[in-house]
Structure 1
Amino acid sequence: MELENREGQRVPEVTFRCRKDNDWNDVRSADIFSGRNVVVFALPGAFTPTCSSAHVPRYNELAPVLKKHGIDEIVCISVNDGFVMEAWQADQEADRITFLADGNGEFTEKMGMLVDKSDLGFGERSWRYSMLVRDGVIEKQFIEPDEPGDPFVVSDADTMLSHVAPDAACPEDVVVFTKPGCPYCASAKQMLEDADLDYEEIVLGRDASLRSLRAATGAMTVPQVFVGGHRIGGSEDLEQWIHRERRAA
């Protein structure tokens, strides 16, 4: 298999047959790339393990940082039909990414990235890669090594961010334990949102038990907020922490 690096070349001119709001939505290459800075990552298939657990979530997470450093749009391309891509985006809750369905593999073939995955029952799919495109021209391309299986070492979001903005700071992971109907939990979540901090919510009774909370945090009350692996505490503790961070900035 020969995978050609196409840095310096223009992206292919195709029309992506996509779905949006349960209707057809054709998207041309020019609509996406003309006069804009676009990060693209392509992958073998929707709903597949690495794509769903790592590739898409991290790009969605780092989207605000990439856009802060001049990226207009982040695009995910896969050789899947529009119905599948629309359903996958909803399942991933990846509203910061544009999902393009390359159902016939036309874009992927013209990129020289169409590979045979018949051994998995997939037929022809895209090799995993990412690229930075400025006004339709590929400035940088990260292609996964030609190795058996599905390597995932260079097309990730962190590698792309390091190229786009080498000194950019990645957001710290924020987790908040809550329970339904808790006003202090609602207050903590609002503070995080007002501070423009993305967070993962773990709801007691749905995602975890009281025993899990106690084992993970040593506490019996909610909310419990963690930032970068460090326990901040409850809503009052979070308020003080946010004030300290703002003063330090």
Structure 2
Amino acid sequence: MLPNAESLIGKPVPQVTFKARPDNQWRDITSDELFKGKKVVVFALPGAYTPTCSTSHLPRYNELAPLLRRNGVDDIICISVNDAFVMNEWKGGQEAENITMIPDGNGDFTAGMGLLVDKRALGFGQRSWRYSMLVKDGIIDRIFIEPDKEGDPFEVSDADTMLRHINPQATPPEPVVVFSKPGCPHCARAKAVLKARGIVFTDISQDHKITASVLRAVSGQMTWPQVFVGGTLIGNADAVEAHFAAPDAPAAKAEA
């Protein structure tokens, strides 16, 4: 039986010590280190590399992390009952540089939340139920627990729901895609503009079989880079600089 969300609001997070490997060095990280004196968003999920976790839950939190921080959040933490090696490799593969990965390998934190569930039927052992929460100075301010039903429901613990709770007026940024070429100085310049504004983007490099003919088919252009925002072609590095310098640029609005 999963706990009722309302019963957890106002309670402190479990006091545990996580066995983590930041910078590939073993280090004990306590709950106080993560939460004390901070406003933190946590999202917990059944397992690294699993479908919903990899295609939706983690990527969207990584995408919205800069906007969450601009709305007063100090850190965005992903917790899963996985070991530190798995969590680090998953973060690298997902390019989730905006997320703090915390391995709850023994399930101590998850059990303390009352959200450790039996997934032995899938060969997973004990895992976390999917949820998200806003923690202020170690106290649970709001928690969204997925409904207790078959499968892997993903209805309320998503990043957009959390953002709406924190700031209903916040406008999520449009997705940004950069078609780039290794060693291209103009590509580097365009990506630098995006990074300087804290804009999360997907870099589709020529290394991924994106040839000049593919680029022309997609954008109508043959020069690198070509940048899209929300499905709209912005263009090359000069166009990107001009677009994001404009006060009414869609991505600029997302910072409000």
Task: Flag as ranges the 4+ runs of structure 1 deviating above 4 A.
Answer: 246-249
Judged with a 3 Å threshold, the aligned counterparts in structure 2 of structure 1 residues 174 and 20 are, in CA distance, closer, same or farther, namely same
**What do residues 87-126 of structure 1 show as CA deviations (whole Å, max 9, x unaligned)?**
2222222222111111111111111101111111001100
Structure 2 unaligned blocks of 5 or more: none
- C-alpha spacing 1:183/1:84, structure 2 compared with 1 (3 Å): closer
Give me the whole-angstrom Cα distance separating, in 2, the residues matched to 1:83 and 1:183.
35
Q: Name the SS for the 2:47 alignment partner.
A: coil
Q: CA RMSD in A?
A: 1.9
Q: Of 138, 141, 152, which aligns to 2:140? A: 138
Decide whether the 8 Å contact of 1:39 with 1:131 is kept in 2: yes
Measure, in 2, the Cα distance between the counterparts of 1:117 and 1:99: 22
Q: Counterpart of 1:103 in 2: which secondary structure? A: coil
**Superposed displacement of residue 207, structure 1:** 4.2
Alpha-carbon spacing, 1:34–1:193, altered in 2? closer, same or farther (3 Å): closer
Aligned to 2:4: 4
Deviates more, 1:22-31 or 1:158-167: 22-31
Partner of 2:59: 57
In structure 1, which of residues 154, 157, 164 is the aligned counterpart of residue 156 of structure 2? 154
2:87 aligns with 85
Give runs of aligned pairs for residues 45-194 of structure 1, distance below 5 A: 45-194=47-196
User: Which AA in structure 2 matches 1:8?
Assistant: G
Stretch moving more, 196-205 or 91-100 = 196-205
Given that 2:14 and 2:31 are in contact with CA atoms closer than 8 Å, whether structure 1 keeps it comes out as: yes
* Matching of residues 22-61 of structure 1 within 5 Å: 22-61=24-63
Identical residues among aligned pairs (%): 56
The 1:121–1:176 alpha-carbon spacing in structure 2 relative to 1, beyond 3 Å, is same
Q: Which range moved further: 165-174 or 138-147?
A: 165-174
- What residue ranges of structure 1 are gaps of 5+ in the alignment? none
How does the TM-score come out when normalised to structure 2?
A: 0.90
Please tell me whether the aligned partners of residues 4 and 112 of structure 1 are also in contact (alpha carbons under 8 angstroms): no
- The alignment partner of 2:215 has SS state of helix
State the 1:205 CA deviation: 4.6
